Structure 1
Amino acid sequence: MIRFLRSPATKLAALYTSIFAVLLLSHSTPEFLSPRQGSTLDASKPYRESVKMLEYHYVQRAYGNDDINIDRRLWDAWEQIENGPQTAMLKPFPVAATWRLEGPTNIGGRMRAVAFHPTQTNTIYAGGASGGVWRSDDLGATWTPLSDFEPRINIGALAIDVSNPDILYAGTGEPIPGSYGRKNGSAFYDGVGVLRSSDAGASWTLLPWPSNNSSVYRIALHPQSSDTLLVGTRDKLWKSTDGGQNWSSALSGIITDVLYKPGDPSTVFAAVGNDYGGSSNGVYVSHAGGDKFTWEKLDVNFAPGDSIGRIVLSIPDADPDRIYAAVALNRNRMPDSDVDFKGVFVSKNGGASWERKLSAITNGFTRGQAYYDLTIMASPSDPDLVLLGGIDMYRSDNGGEGFTKKSRWELRVLDPNNPGYVHADQHHIAFKPDDPNVAIVGNDGGVFLTTDKGDTWAQRNDGLATTQFYGINYAPSNPNLLYGGTQDNSNMRQSSPGQTNWLYVGGGDGGNIAVDPKSNNTMYFCMNSSPFRTFDGVNMEPITNGLSGFRFNWIRPMLLDPDGDRLYTASNSVHRLSPAKDATTWINITPGVLTSSIVTDLELVSANPRYMYAATGKGEVFFCFNLIALDPEWDLVDEGLPNRWISDIHLGWDSWNTVYAAISGYGTGHAYKTTDGGLSWTDISGDLPDIPANAIVPSLTDTNTVFLATDIGVWYTIDGGEHWKQFGNGLPNVVCYDMKLTPENRLIVGTYGRGIWTTDAVTSVTAAPAQPTDIALHANYPNPFGTGIAPVTTLTFSLERAQDVRLQVVDAAGRIV
């Protein structure tokens, strides 16, 4: 039976008196798949799922206001942080909270831009889609982060000044169009314009920016002037002639690429590539340095603009009249979900006319996501040598007449040491300036290097900690052993506590992981939103029976009870698998439909597994008090919560009727608390900036202290929510999607772009007493113990921990007595 009650006061009040034990809890942080998507997913084909990943981020932040500019709102939050009361110091923690990177340092995340230093050619720069700018001085053998604490570390483009290589520009944001509520290709990860460094990335300046549409596709630097640059964004091509201090609009449209003609900087080529087509789509040329009103569309024998989508370009230095264009189909005109590649077009006369060289590649090339993974690069010294990237890498040795497949993403599971393995989803290619055999590619698995024109490849991810985590967990039997689910790098785990080289579990996109309390190798997780289980950490079996016909989150809850006997997941209903290790069919424990929305998180009261809370993407929270019954009852307990996406809920550590909620989106509070089981909720956001919140954890030791993972790092309050401050030192300025607190007070945060971090400095929020070095009792001077019948004098002091002390009493002359 499902009952939707706003005020189940009598029932809840009775329940409050029945619980006396200190409660332990199980916790999970799930996420979202658009309600328009079905529940059936093909786990063997991760390339199909990128659009759901894009929607997953956007919808949570735009829910309640689909036309919102999430770029602008996140920048407003950053300015609020810089200028607001949060800059004032709160009472400090007793030990400086310093974050420690737990890894993985052997598995890279999505890299959207790569570039070689023009003269020190073993030096590589790489830009992570949500992991910042990185530098390697040894062809990718080791890496150093350069921009961890800049206003935004979502990097979509890089450009190095060839005449002064210390000058480096980084375009922020990742302007990938998706399919949900994205007007004109709204950004996936938000940008704030362009960063400039004049010391090879050691420091950065955020340049003034003229547009709300601030995510950057490409940057082109004038080869003879460090101060002249063109920047392609999702609404315009912008030009600056003073190093980015002032900007002018040069060309309208979604600018997916821009290039100076080698040897002739007065000539500039640009691609307009609206993912959903449009008459303006195509390749343009300016013979006046890219100034406004000087652009001409080059459309002779090129595909009609309304039939095509994204376009990427390459011009070889050795033949500057030759232009290669890799072209996607208009996503509204795809013949089926796997075919969205129009072909490779080549011009040998500066764009005056084009020839379509390649119309299709067998065995799948972009497989429905050319808007996301499409890149082309011609060798600077050999104009006939072309590398082309989609899902895999391809090469042409004859100017695009034919392409040969040169990598296989599926080898990651079959044979990861095979030299033919390159991670799926190619984003950007660069050739080594002094060796045409050497090239690098950035993809969803980091950076890969070839030294033989693409015949063989090697991972170059050692130290490139840019993995993008959706969910994290720890082993109940060993809380120092960490697990996580990632974007396109599957689920993974540490081989042993503290080990920063992690192990893969499965493939594709990961999600939330539930770990058996008795066996660290028994795990329940999702691959591409389909649930699996493993008993040895290697071999997997799907557990999908009973789930058809429901609408699921892209990253769904996976929650075990304290004994490991019952597994829960959620859609627009709640489902149970029992016993978790043996059962093959899920049971719907909310007969019918619980909600018109999708459940975003589940919380189980571990001390009483009959009690469960369920949160949704419409600001709803449901409570069940008889979960084990044949006909569980669910009550709606959301009075006071805003109509926003609830990212996470967490129980209080000592009371099941105390619940905390993290709220995504904009325009409301982002941290809420109830102490009466949801009868009423209180906004405890205080002076917290208007930032989407993704996870919430109360302190183990102080009910006034709460930690909040947000799109701008981790925040904490020590006064019940009146004041908030960013927590700890050393954590990059990164989106934090999930957070856990272990029984040992170890705070763990999973970031989307910089791996997993921990800190142990969360044991108290009361300033520790200073350790005394001497004690003077002036009132009893000169003899603290008196004379005759000795009066009692008590010396009182505090120590941080139990330890031996030595007390010395001295007279007025300083002699020990």
Structure 2
Amino acid sequence: MFKRITIILLLSLIVLPLSAQSVDEESLSGLQWRNIGPAIMGGRVTDVEGVVGKPSHIYVATASGGLWKTENRGTTWRCIFEKENTVSIGDIAIDPKNPEVIWVGSGESNVRNSGSIGDGVYKSIDGGKTWQHMGLSETEHISRIVIHPHNSDIVYVGALGHAYGPNNERGVFRSKDAGKTWEKVLYIDKKHGVADLDIDPENPNVLYAAMWHFERKPWTHTSGSTEGGIFRTTDGGNNWNKITAGLPKLMGRAGVKVAPSDPKRVYVIAETQKGVLFRSDNRGESFTTMCKEEKIVGRGFYYADLRVDPQNSNRVYALASNLYYSVDGGKNFAVMSRRTHVDYHALWINPQDPSNLWQGQDGGVAVSYDRGKKWTYINNMPLCQVYQIGVDNNAPFYNIHFGLQDNGCWTGPSRTYRPYGILNADWQMVSFGDGFFIFNHPKKPHLFISEAQGGFAVINDTRSKEESSITPYAKVIWGGPVSEGKYRFHWNSPLIPSHHNDDTIYFAGNVVFRSEDFGKNWQIISPDLTTNDLRKQQTAGGPVWQENTAAEYHCAIISLSESPLDANLLWAGTDDGNLHVSKDQGKNWTNVIENIPKLPNNSPVSHIELSRTDKNVVYAAFDRHMLDDFHAYIYKSSDGGKTWQDISGNIPTKSYVWVVREDPKNPQILYAGTEMGLYVTYNNGKHWFKLHLKNLPTVAVHDIIIHPRDNDMILGTHGRGIWIYDDMTALQNLSKLENKDVELFPIRTVYSHSKKMMRYGIGDGVYVAPNPPYGALIDYYVSKNMSKTKLKLEIYNDKGKLIRSLNKLNNKHGIHRMVWNLQGKKYKARFKGPQSLSIEVLPGNYRVRLVYGDKNIEKTVSVKVDPNIPYDTKQHKKNYEYATSVLEMRESLYKDLQKLDIIEMQVKQLKTRIAQLSNGKVSTKILGSYVSKVKKLKGKMERYSKDASPSRLFFSKAPKLADELSFFGSANKQFAMTAAQIAYLTDLKNRHAKARKEIQAFIEQALSEWNAKLLEEYNVSNWIFLKIEKKTQKKDHKKNKEKKDHKSK
């Protein structure tokens, strides 16, 4: 018996640590993120399609930001494909017979180094409201979907397949039952897939497919083969033949399009060494070379696409670095659309009005209504593809800095003084190119250091707009292999500020550089930390065209971290699988990669996170997706890298990891930014779950920062911009709620600041990102067994006086957020409604009490003034007292006027009743005179009428006392009241006292003389009375009236 008890006790001890870290995931379901865009710059767009006959209905597909829809030509948009397994889209197709049916081919086919992956085909039958997965999960990259023009059950899918390795699920697939089943009808081998696919609208049995050999590795890519090329079927896909007449044998990526107005004409644009544009006028039997200008293809693997005008077979558009057009059947091309962006991937031509064009490129979307002469840039979709983020400590609102795919580096506010939010105009571009790391000097915030691809670092002064290169190695080698440079910089080279010295920064190529003067001078503090494999430093691309844009520059450092606890401790990870540590500021380095168990060789180190609580604790994330391995790899060492533990846990495959962060307040909590979203663990990696709350879409999270002052979590997503969770306190304490019925979380300091309109109307087409709610964010938790308990929040000042109650609290199970807008006592308004009056409290400490049942919990919140305001405590207090006195005068006058309202109502009711009961035979003239007297007195005190138009009264009558009191009463934090204002306030006080006396005298007269007259004239006693509150008065007055009516009758 003793042994049995001992075993039970031991087992309970074993599970205690895990149970102590168990969290109530369900309690987070009511919380949400704040997406602040921006939308001034877009992201890569992969397809644009319009609804024929409804040109106001446009769909925009993106590389990594989902599918967007407008029904008003782009004035407003909504994302309709964001919660599926992937948001990377290669192509969309709208059923020509039913525009409510939409097909999505997931996984973009512009397979650059930053591309995402898909998981097959999706279909909606209700215009994008709901989606069903239709299979082909392992295709990963789909280039085109084609629907039979006469039979919607027949659908063709052109799949590129895996971009990083061989696989079978690629080629052309056909469904004859609307996607229920698929058959592969064109397949070459495990390395060839479909670059493009088109159908003959006149004879849908004829289809053309561009077959393409493409494979990417971290250090190179292969584009083209002699086995690929253009294939044709004339029997609906049962049999295919390769077209060779007039086409080069060696071909890379290609686009093929049938001219809708003349299906005998077929165009091919291709990455080849013998011409780039080819045309057939005999349905593909043979082709003729029309153009050899390589500019209309540009970078072969990235573009090689075209469109044909639906009404003019000689008008052709080529999508490349620029958007080109030809009006002579492809012989000559000219540039259009010079003022949008570069790198074109999508073009929709309205078949009923070919002057209406929609384009998609690396910077978003634009529309033209004059056949491309002029374009309107559509910048109201938050599509930017963030790589890295940084923050500053600007007060009261910190700024966020970030680098974007093909859209440079930017900075902007986390919130604004405007009540409606953050506009595109609030963002400032800092530097050009593909943007990555960016930060500013803590003491000179106008000085920014940022970088573009291949180690091109610059310093910018945002005041003077001057920019200068600070790259340690000034020689430019773009265009050539990385081996031609003295140092090797990656596409996204680590560039970080020191935690310990404001002027010290680090930069990494294949060696680590340090500058102690903010980038003016550099010193090398490491040897080559990579494998220096010469085979992986050669020219990229081929066999058709070579390409060296730094995207494939290899054998370089891609992650670098300085310990926040020890300036001597540095860690560096490389793209070829090395992980080094230095404990003496770079004098000596040790490679600890061999200490990590079960990690495959040559695994790129995507991120290194050093603990803020223990300098021996380090986390390392590895990303092998470009080696065709999509597993999550996260390891932890607690002894400085000697031993390691796999803490990837249950993070699913295809959620490969970009970043891992330790929570700065609770080291048991880790956050992982993955290709498929954000994950969190509360027990150091034993169990992970998605932290998407209500609204974070499926999107790649490339960077995570928890703001050191405000405790906000900021996400940099690669496709949907910046997302913020304001104040992480509740989430950081989630593991402490297991035995709590109700909890009130600590409340962070709140700044009182101006909320000022800075422009008039902005319309509906402007993107506005929300500010957080103004005031104190009060988070509380309710357990399941307390979900029927009534809750309320009470705010007390430092003297213990109750100044505000918040009664409408959500009592359902979970964590909820209530906002105290810093307003103090509520003063009654003139009429019923939400116009209760109050002013902001003075700075200081306030107690927040959460009352539940007969229990309560208290926390303190500190209210401070915006540090940008030249603040005078005494002056603010004096202004506050002035404003309070005005509110008190206003409320007392309003109460008096409400008494007059009641008297007027009572007299009107009697007048109506007597007229009804006597059939108009009894005169009510005296009652009419009483009503007139009341109105006259009210008119003397106020110009506003409950039923009249406020704007008409505002401009047609001079203000009266009540109106003047409503104009006056702001507790300004900066400016003292002027002598004129003080004199005016004195006048108001005198007039207010006289007015109250006049009203009181009038009321006394009505209660005595009028009631006596009513008794004499109508035998009605005490009809007019004012003894109870207005809410209950009507009910009691009705009972009293019924008794009097009977007597009168």
- Taking structure 2 as the reference length, the TM-score comes to 0.59
Q: 1:595 to 1:451 in 2, by over 3 A?
A: same
Q: 1:693 to 1:774 in 2, by over 3 A?
A: closer
Paired residue secondary structure (2:54): coil
Alignment of 1:559 with 2:503, yes or no, is no
Alignment of 1:220 with 2:220, yes or no, is no
Q: 1:354 aligns with which of 268, 271, 287?
A: 287
Query: Where does residue 257 of structure 1 map in the other structure?
Result: 196
Give the Cα separation in 1 of the matches to 2:46 and 2:692.
Answer: 29
Higher helix share: 2
Deviation at 1:709, TM superposition (A): 0.8
Q: 1:806 to 1:279 in 2, by over 3 A?
A: closer
Paired residue secondary structure (1:437): coil
Q: Assess if the C-alpha contact under 8 Å between 2:504 and 2:516 holds in 1.
A: yes
Alignment of 1:754 with 2:725, yes or no, is no
Alignment of 1:739 with 2:784, yes or no, is no
Q: 1:154 aligns with which of 72, 88, 103?
A: 88
Give the Cα separation in 1 of the matches to 2:689 and 2:211.
Answer: 43
Q: 1:487 aligns with which of 399, 405, 422?
A: 405
Query: Where does residue 399 of structure 1 map in the other structure?
Result: 329
The amino acid of 1:693's aligned partner reads V
Query: Where does residue 297 of structure 1 map in the other structure?
Result: 242
Matches within 5 A, 1:651-666: 651-665=610-624, 666=629
Give the Cα separation in 2 of the matches to 1:615 and 1:671.
Answer: 13
Matches within 5 A, 1:406-425: 406-407=336-337, 420-425=338-343
Q: 2:128 aligns with which of 201, 204, 217?
A: 201
Give the Cα separation in 2 of the matches to 1:586 and 1:807.
Answer: 61
Paired residue secondary structure (1:435): coil
Matches within 5 A, 1:373-522: 373-407=303-337, 420-462=338-380, 464-477=381-394, 480-494=398-412, 497=415, 499=422, 501=424, 502-522=427-447
Give the Cα separation in 1 of the matches to 2:530 and 2:150.
Answer: 64
Q: Assess if the C-alpha contact under 8 Å between 1:97 and 1:761 holds in 2.
A: no
Q: 2:661 aligns with which of 697, 701, 705?
A: 697
Give the Cα separation in 1 of the matches to 2:473 and 2:27.
Answer: 49
Q: 1:345 aligns with which of 240, 254, 278?
A: 278
Gaps of 5+ in 1: 1-87, 181-186, 334-340, 408-419, 776-798, 811-817
Q: 1:370 to 1:299 in 2, by over 3 A?
A: same
Larger relative contact order (CA 8 Å, sep ≥ 6): 1
Matches within 5 A, 1:271-286: 271-274=210-213, 276-286=223-233
Q: 1:139 aligns with which of 55, 73, 80?
A: 73
The amino acid of 1:684's aligned partner reads I
- Taking structure 1 as the reference length, the TM-score comes to 0.75
Give the Cα separation in 1 of the matches to 2:630 and 2:314.
Answer: 54
Gaps of 5+ in 2: 1-21, 161-169, 215-222, 417-421, 475-484, 533-554, 744-785, 792-815, 818-845, 856-1049
Q: Assess if the C-alpha contact under 8 Å between 1:344 and 1:400 holds in 2.
A: yes
Query: Where does residue 460 of structure 2 map in the other structure?
Result: 534
Alignment of 1:314 with 2:227, yes or no, is no
* CA-atom RMSD in angstroms: 2.9
Q: 1:699 to 1:606 in 2, by over 3 A?
A: closer
Give the Cα separation in 1 of the matches to 2:154 and 2:852.
Answer: 71
Give the Cα separation in 2 of the matches to 1:807 and 1:645.
Answer: 52
Q: Assess if the C-alpha contact under 8 Å between 1:109 and 1:446 holds in 2.
A: yes
Greater shift, 494-503 or 701-710, is seen at 494-503
Alignment of 1:723 with 2:687, yes or no, is yes
Deviation at 1:807, TM superposition (A): 11
Give the Cα separation in 1 of the matches to 2:269 and 2:328.
Answer: 16
Paired residue secondary structure (1:803): strand
Count matched residues.
657
Paired residue secondary structure (1:677): coil
Give the Cα separation in 1 of the matches to 2:630 and 2:333.
Answer: 50
Matches within 5 A, 1:180-199: 188-199=115-126
Q: 1:672 aligns with which of 631, 635, 648?
A: 635
Q: 1:380 to 1:559 in 2, by over 3 A?
A: same
Give the Cα separation in 2 of the matches to 1:808 and 1:648.
Answer: 48
Deviation at 1:239, TM superposition (A): 0.5
Give the Cα separation in 1 of the matches to 2:438 and 2:470.
Answer: 14
The amino acid of 2:342's aligned partner reads A
Give the Cα separation in 1 of the matches to 2:450 and 2:138.
Answer: 38
Query: Where does residue 590 of structure 2 map in the other structure?
Result: 635
Deviation at 1:485, TM superposition (A): 0.8
Give the Cα separation in 1 of the matches to 2:92 and 2:852.
Answer: 64
Paired residue secondary structure (1:266): coil
Give the Cα separation in 2 of the matches to 1:223 and 1:808.
Answer: 66
Q: Assess if the C-alpha contact under 8 Å between 2:630 and 2:656 holds in 1.
A: no
The amino acid of 1:321's aligned partner reads K
Give the Cα separation in 2 of the matches to 1:619 and 1:575.
Answer: 20
Deviation at 1:204, TM superposition (A): 0.7
Query: Where does residue 770 of structure 1 map in the other structure?
Result: 742
Give the Cα separation in 1 of the matches to 2:850 and 2:248.
Answer: 85
Give the Cα separation in 2 of the matches to 1:568 and 1:215.
Answer: 37
Give the Cα separation in 2 of the matches to 1:804 and 1:472.
Answer: 37
Query: Where does residue 711 of structure 1 map in the other structure?
Result: 675
Give the Cα separation in 1 of the matches to 2:175 and 2:407.
Answer: 38
Q: 1:750 to 1:500 in 2, by over 3 A?
A: farther
Query: Where does residue 60 of structure 1 map in the other structure?
Result: none
Q: 1:207 to 1:804 in 2, by over 3 A?
A: closer
Paired residue secondary structure (1:273): strand
Query: Where does residue 625 of structure 1 map in the other structure?
Result: 583
Query: Where does residue 649 of structure 1 map in the other structure?
Result: 608
Query: Where does residue 604 of structure 1 map in the other structure?
Result: 562
Query: Where does residue 25 of structure 1 map in the other structure?
Result: none
The amino acid of 1:647's aligned partner reads S
Percent sequence identity is 27
Deviation at 1:503, TM superposition (A): 2.8
Greater shift, 567-576 or 514-523, is seen at 514-523
Query: Where does residue 784 of structure 1 map in the other structure?
Result: none
Deviations 1:217-274 (A, max 9, x none): 1111001122111111123111101111111111124222212212222222222233
The amino acid of 2:314's aligned partner reads D
Give the Cα separation in 2 of the matches to 1:220 and 1:401.
Answer: 28
The amino acid of 2:386's aligned partner reads F
Give the Cα separation in 1 of the matches to 2:230 and 2:473.
Answer: 50
Deviation at 1:592, TM superposition (A): 5.6
Alignment of 1:326 with 2:269, yes or no, is yes
The amino acid of 1:728's aligned partner reads H
Q: 1:667 to 1:145 in 2, by over 3 A?
A: closer
Paired residue secondary structure (1:264): coil
Q: 2:448 aligns with which of 520, 523, 529?
A: 523
Deviation at 1:359, TM superposition (A): 1.0
Deviations 1:119-157 (A, max 9, x none): 211111111011111111222232211110011111001
Q: 1:92 to 1:636 in 2, by over 3 A?
A: farther
Give the Cα separation in 2 of the matches to 1:564 and 1:217.
Answer: 48
Give the Cα separation in 2 of the matches to 1:624 and 1:808.
Answer: 58
Query: Where does residue 510 of structure 2 map in the other structure?
Result: 572
